Structure 1
């Protein structure tokens, strides 16, 4: 998979010693902060080739960086990160110039070979065989050797579906070579899976799981410790290419209960709390010492169906369920009108690719009942696998959904589950579940890849359709705007109307409670940015 123009020597893999930083000679007066979150990682790892969740997206940019990034604070557009420049050699090839003197967390200076390793066979394109539970289930795979878990290959195929090789041109130049033309190569490289890691640190790790719980990247903070189910501690990487980080230490601590997070903030135990439902905002803002920041972000909450369930195999039933949802009632009653019902799986950041005449399925119980009669539905039970507020206000949302389905004549039965493995595993009786999807870059390819080979919904066996891969291929390779728009429209028609893979609920709003005196802004995504540029200019 990787074309190298020179061989690595053993010396090239050896980590370099850290250099003393004169400005750190005196007392370190930078603050440390504690952030209470619902969960740090659903996979028990910090490796993006396994952890592809909203909560992982929150923490990863602090310790890992891609070649091209997204400015989540303001523009939501691409910006240089580890690459200072890039250009198209042809429709299949993107050449990138690497930033000089990027020191990684192990003290080595990042080189083109680290980029080649990141996209190489050892990390991306090899994986253990999946067990009979399927993908996205195990949280301990890779404990006995260096082979990545089976999800690594699926995620690689979804995010870089026609990757051919990463070509090392010289020490500061690489070329991403695709097998076919792809208008979204630049966007794909902004994903967390495009973050660059140390090949030497990976080689020294005793197992894949050890590596995945303490990956060595280039971000402003390095992973000091990670205890799955407890906390993640990050420490300042003072040799960071972007300048000295403004914080000495960041601790993300898991506090699953919302009330406990709020109480801890008010008591001074935490400096920030995440995943805050709107009904808690007013109480926090009564305190002169605290405030709530945030709003709608680049994520949409969904219901996803399992087509293998005998009742849900009929698309008429899924369509009926879509028309039985009062989305505006959820927005008004649970989110206090602080977000909106989206136009299907779309965001304004799509620009010219946004289909502004598209709408989410209308709330229409008469139409839902008509579809159920046509489907010859006779009240068979439909299981709804539900987590206890992994998503903000998830249980409250589910109650509105179930009432709407009941009013249409649907017999939906809630089954509470403890973790995502019990949701996505290939167990008998899977029905429907909550999910979400994110515009990780500003093109429909980003979220729609979930419903094509390698994407989570496809790989988990919840939904597949023979037309979807062809449409995704066309969306990726077509360069004419109007033809791309027509392809996207057809893909939305397939996945939202004809053979629904999902139905949208509302655009996610992300609220963070914080100490009022801390000079930090919320981003337009789940990402929490604690770099210099987002800490009041403190250096």
Structure 2
């Protein structure tokens, strides 16, 4: 009797230990306020949404960004404005409902994306999904999506953010779009288990996941730990399995420990800043050009990143393939020309506000301080205004002038990065942060609709040249995503993107 009890107890302990070993705790600087992709285009949401949702077409970042079947087994371009998708049979949502055409109609409907309104989701999703006219149901597993105009990215648009497919039934049961945005239902390898605003997001493995790449952990907890030093201490003590937003200053401490290591590097994203050209000072393009020319990017990369990232050749990525303009130089550093432009513009030392948070981005406050010194060296009176939230950063007031941003290459094309952020349909243009000049807008329209790569390359080059003398923002360097990992428990295979793969492909427990 005692032996049976003892064996049962030992078995229980072993089972409990096994379950515990499959849990994953990730310390992050922030979690999103909502989880529906159309409501939150942010780095902190991207690292979660890869686990919750799938797209019709999958971008394989481990295979050079190739497009592969996702929730659609095949697709066919009917004409430059129309694409047809065959849906994968047998796919289950986290609520048990089966994927079919009604979910595609809902996902891309004005009801969800807000394209017929001025809501936050409409502003965020318009550069991505605003070109959709209708979704036609051919049969329960076939849909045909019609665009308003010829679309140069008609396939890529449905392989990337924010084209993650959500459950129509889940929305109906949620009662409102606001409620659903906090508890969205997808088809990904994990389902949402808990969401404490500002504190944590908890995911659980989804047993009915359609793909062979299953969830690596039974449970994943993204917990907010704002201070980098506290995240590192938790990693070294074994409290956390993965920690985010590290910089090279942290590497020696982590690599010298017996239980942790660093993974990651530069991703398909440009870290930059944005200028509010409606501001009374920055409305003069010469002052904005002077701000740009005063930035010594090589010094930032060397001093703050130990050379572990790069400065891109303008607003583009090498992943653009045929649209990458290799002959374009990196942004110029010319403090003397900056001084000349300021004199020509009649700048007299007026205060310029630079809104920044402390640590949303890696080395955020340190970068802001370096930039402030560089601008001061050419005579610009830039003052740091440290904020706590994005709402405070975005607040439309007269002193809004400079703020931080990142520029993810959601599509391997200038439409997915440069023109998405600085185009006529961008959220910043819609918010009145800048106005796109008519000639640039005309070029952008051709870039969006032309199917001729040579024509698009020529236009893109002209757009970059025009932007250099009338900039609405500045490049700093390629954004980095460095993670600290408990090497005694697991290995983490990261992708060149803000997405975090927590399937058995990305995470292997030891």
Shared fold, TM over 0.5: yes
Residue pairs, 1:418-497, within 5 angstroms: 418-447=388-417, 448-467=419-438, 468-495=440-467, 497=468
- Tell me whether 390-399 or 116-125 shows the greater mean CA deviation: 116-125
With the length of structure 2 as denominator, give the TM-score of the two structures: 0.93
Q: 1:53 aligns with which of 42, 48, 63?
A: 42
2:114 alignment partner in structure 1: 125
- Tell me whether 306-315 or 77-86 shows the greater mean CA deviation: 77-86
2:25 alignment partner in structure 1: 34
CA distance in 2 between partners of 1:293 and 1:375 (Å): 46
CA distance in 2 between partners of 1:69 and 1:206 (Å): 30
Q: Does 1:526 align with 2:498?
A: yes
Indicate if the aligned counterparts of 2:115 and 2:126 stay in contact, CA closer than 8 A: no
Displacement after TM superposition at 1:486 (Å): 1.2
Indicate if the aligned counterparts of 1:276 and 1:512 stay in contact, CA closer than 8 A: yes
Displacement after TM superposition at 1:537 (Å): 9.6
Residue pairs, 1:162-173, within 5 angstroms: 162-173=131-142
1:311 alignment partner in structure 2: 281
1:241 alignment partner in structure 2: 210
2:97 alignment partner in structure 1: 108
Q: Does 1:95 align with 2:65?
A: no
Alpha-carbon deviations, 1:51-80, whole Å to 9, x = none?
A: 001111111010011111212234223222
SS at structure 1 position matched to 2:458: helix
Structure 1: gaps of 5 or more residues? 1-25, 130-149
Alpha-carbon deviations, 1:181-215, whole Å to 9, x = none?
A: 11201111122221111101100113322211110
CA distance in 2 between partners of 1:269 and 1:263 (Å): 8
Indicate if the aligned counterparts of 2:424 and 2:436 stay in contact, CA closer than 8 A: no
CA distance in 2 between partners of 1:519 and 1:369 (Å): 50
Displacement after TM superposition at 1:470 (Å): 2.2
CA distance in 1 between partners of 2:339 and 2:491 (Å): 53
Indicate if the aligned counterparts of 2:94 and 2:185 stay in contact, CA closer than 8 A: yes
Displacement after TM superposition at 1:126 (Å): 5.4
Q: 1:271 aligns with which of 241, 248, 260?
A: 241
Indicate if the aligned counterparts of 2:357 and 2:387 stay in contact, CA closer than 8 A: yes
Q: Does 1:417 align with 2:387?
A: yes
Indicate if the aligned counterparts of 2:110 and 2:116 stay in contact, CA closer than 8 A: no
CA distance in 2 between partners of 1:74 and 1:35 (Å): 26
1:157 alignment partner in structure 2: 126
CA distance in 2 between partners of 1:365 and 1:469 (Å): 30
CA distance in 2 between partners of 1:481 and 1:315 (Å): 31
1:327 alignment partner in structure 2: 297
Indicate if the aligned counterparts of 1:236 and 1:245 stay in contact, CA closer than 8 A: yes
SS at structure 1 position matched to 2:492: coil
SS at structure 1 position matched to 2:111: coil
CA distance in 1 between partners of 2:216 and 2:388 (Å): 37
Alpha-carbon deviations, 1:129-167, whole Å to 9, x = none?
A: 5xxxxxxxxxxxxxxxxxxxx112223321123211111
Q: Does 1:63 align with 2:35?
A: no
Q: Aligned-pair RMSD on alpha carbons?
A: 1.7
CA pair 127-204 structure 1, distance change in 2 beyond 3 A: farther
Q: 1:344 aligns with which of 314, 323, 335?
A: 314
Displacement after TM superposition at 1:452 (Å): 2.1
Displacement after TM superposition at 1:128 (Å): 6.4
Question: What is the number of residues matched between the two proteins?
Answer: 490
Indicate if the aligned counterparts of 1:291 and 1:516 stay in contact, CA closer than 8 A: yes
Indicate if the aligned counterparts of 1:73 and 1:522 stay in contact, CA closer than 8 A: no
CA pair 466-362 structure 1, distance change in 2 beyond 3 A: closer
Alpha-carbon deviations, 1:283-314, whole Å to 9, x = none?
A: 10111221110011001111110011111000
2:485 alignment partner in structure 1: 514
Q: Does 1:280 align with 2:269?
A: no
Indicate if the aligned counterparts of 1:221 and 1:237 stay in contact, CA closer than 8 A: yes
Structure 2: gaps of 5 or more residues? 1-14
Displacement after TM superposition at 1:477 (Å): 0.9
Q: Does 1:398 align with 2:368?
A: yes
- Tell me whether 461-470 or 259-268 shows the greater mean CA deviation: 461-470
Indicate if the aligned counterparts of 2:415 and 2:447 stay in contact, CA closer than 8 A: yes
SS at structure 2 position matched to 1:259: helix
Q: Does 1:292 align with 2:283?
A: no
Q: 2:196 aligns with which of 202, 227, 242?
A: 227
Indicate if the aligned counterparts of 2:27 and 2:243 stay in contact, CA closer than 8 A: yes
1:76 alignment partner in structure 2: 65
